[in-house]
Amino acid sequence: MDCEIMKNKVFKEFREKLLELWHLNSALAVLSWDQEVNMPENGADLRAKTIASLAGLLHGKFVSKEFSTVINKVKKFSDNGELNKKETAIFREVWREFSREEKLSSEFVEELAELCSKSQSVWSEARKKSNFKIFQPYLEKIVELKRKEAKFVGYEKSPYDALIDTYEPGMTSEELSVIFYELKIFLVDILQKIKKSKKKIDARKLKGNFPIEKQEKLNKFIAEKMGFNFESGRMDISTHPFTTNFHPDDVRITTRYDEKNLFYSVLSTIHETGHALYEQGIEMKNFGTPLGESISLGIHESQSRIWEKNIGQSQEFWKCFYPDLKKNFPDVFRKLKLVELYEVINEVKPSSIRTEADELTYNLHIILRFEIEKELIEGSIEVADLPKIWNSKMKEYLGIKILKDSQGILQDVHWSGGSIGYFPTYTLGNLYAAQLYAKIKKDIPDLKKEIENGNFENILAWLRKNIHTHGKLYTADELIRKITGETLSSKYFMDYINNKYGKIYEL
Ligand code: MG
């Protein structure tokens, strides 16, 4: 048979197998979404088992002899340089994951999945009671399994690298250490300057009563204006806002509400909509292959951050929506000037809670978690010491005294779900966002005017063309180089922060 025909035949079989795995993956995502949005409390135990057995099934299919035979056939074509650009990317990504998963036994995967699903409800109870001791034995077990996972998977320098790799392929803790160290010094320094500034922002100006139905209507209006397609998506409520996708035609976002705080839900909706636009922008024809998947969590977060921070916390954005604010909440916005709103939503104020942090101190929360995770996985600190280490770093970096575990070590869900190595991608997202947004500003000269007029079509088209439609065709590093001409640099973020906060706080 002609070689090209042979290759096409093998590749077709490969794609069919991948699609099967993807359907299972989608089913798992539905279960997790349901767990966060709809499931009654008592459903937790059995749901954990359902998720675990499905995760085990998925893993088993992925590393099965059947799949292994097909992927190894594709590998031969790859070794001979016979794959085209797209096929090369598909193979590269599946092979990377396959080689990783192959090193983990089905028993191990199921054990981890069940432990993590169970731990999430234990963590939730511990947080409610603000008692780390309740969660500690579970976290100890998770860390133990994660150390094992790193050992199974293998690594060059740090076992933590093996975990980062699932969220941000190609990134290492060594590279992160360099970037984050430089950033930490910058942030601590500018935070001191802001604290000393005579300029004070009065956040009370934005206090009021914001009926939830009206907030919900505004959120939907803004999301739609940004380009979110409600015929291929939904918006619901959950304790922690998140975005999940089953495929590009079914993308779900969640938010949460506080009657006293309008921007608590609005900014988080803009953030999640940014994530969702990425998922809705992926091409349906690529569904079931890595070309139908986002590149990395860092790149994903850059999409949410561009919308939430660079656009959603700008003056021009709220100039556009000011009439809607006035119409819906006249008591507050009749008296409040646009510039005052801009300052209040950008107030820099160290706080104990990461998700409530401003865009400047937010990164110190992440750097703290990165440092802790790295040492925890490398074995130089132990779980029992975490509250003490956490609290002392909070004091050192942010000047905050932690009084309760629920306000400190227990605040985030990530570790209970086994997500260790995930946190750094939040700050990476901010850095990518700043670097990309600098380029967007160059490419769209009338950007400010367009935002003021509520015209987001060009921005979305830019993101679609440069990022969303490619799926995993490029690695994160290749993509950022291709778009901006250089590798990831924290310079753009620092410039952005200096510029914006220099003006707000008259530094
Ligand atoms: Mg996010």
Distance CA 371, CA 431 (A): 18
Question: Which of residues 94, 129, 164 is at a domain's end?
Answer: 129
Could you read off the pLDDT of 110-129 as tens digits, one per residue? 899 889 988 988 999 999 99
- What's the mean pLDDT in 433-439? 98
| Runs of H (alpha helix) within 168-261 | 173-196, 212-226
Average pLDDT estimate for 13-41: 94
Asked if the structure places residue 58 within a domain, the reply is yes
What separation in Å is there between the alpha carbon of 126 and the centre of ligand 1? 24
**Distance from the CA of 227 to the center of ligand 1, in angstroms?**
18
Please, which pLDDT band fits residue 335 given cuts at 50, 70 and 90? confident
Residues 242 and 343 occupy one common structural domain: yes
What are 227-243's pLDDT values in tens digits? Answer: 999 999 999 999 889 99
**d(CA 70, ligand 1 centre) in Å:** 35
Q: What is the pLDDT of residue 274?
A: 98
Residue where a domain terminates, one of 99, 129, 159: 129
Positions marked catalytic:
272
User: Does the structure show a pLDDT above 70 at 9?
Assistant: yes
Domain assignment present for residue 462? The answer is yes
Q: Are residues 120 and 193 in the same domain?
A: no
Distance 301 CA to ligand 1 centre (A): 5
Q: What is the mean pLDDT of the chain?
A: 95
Average pLDDT over residues 50-71: 93
Q: Which of 95, 112, 129 is the last residue of a domain?
A: 129
Domain coverage including residue 62: 3-129
> Do residues 276 and 179 both lie within one domain?
yes
Q: What is the average pLDDT across 6-10?
A: 94
Instruction: Kindly state whether residues 111 and 226 are assigned to the same domain.
Output: no
Number of Cβ atoms within 10 Å of the Cβ of 75: 14
Does pLDDT of 350 surpass 70?
Answer: yes
Tokens of 308: 């939430």
What's residue 441's pLDDT?
Answer: 97
- Any domain includes 476: yes
Instruction: Report the pLDDT averaged over residues 444-453.
Output: 97
CA of 271 to the centre of ligand 1 (A): 7
Distance between Cα 357 and ligand 1 center (Å): 14
Calculate what percentage of the chain has a pLDDT beyond 70: 100
Q: Give the Cα separation of 190 and 184 in Å (integer).
A: 10
Kindly give the distance from the C-alpha atom of residue 72 to the centroid of ligand 1, in angstroms, as a whole number.
Answer: 36
Tell me the whole-structure pTM to 2 decimals. Answer: 0.95
Q: Is residue 155 part of a domain?
A: no
Element (H, E) at 247: strand 243-247
Residue 26 pLDDT greater than 80, yes or no: yes
How many distinct structural domains can be found in the chain?
2
- Residue-level pLDDT at 1: 61
**Do 104 and 190 belong to one domain?**
no
pLDDT at residue 295 is higher than 80: yes
Q: How far is CA 443 from the centre of its chain?
A: 26
- Distance in angstroms (rounded) separating the CA atoms of residues 49 and 219: 35
Q: According to the model, what pLDDT value does residue 110 have? A: 84
Examine the domain organization and report whether 252 and 196 are in the same domain. yes
CATH for 399: 1.10.1370.30
Is there a contact between 175 and 157 (Cβ–Cβ < 8 Å)?
no
Are 121 and 200 part of one and the same domain? no
Does residue 211 carry a pLDDT above 90?
yes
pLDDT of residue 121: 85
* CA 275 – ligand 1 centroid, Å: 7
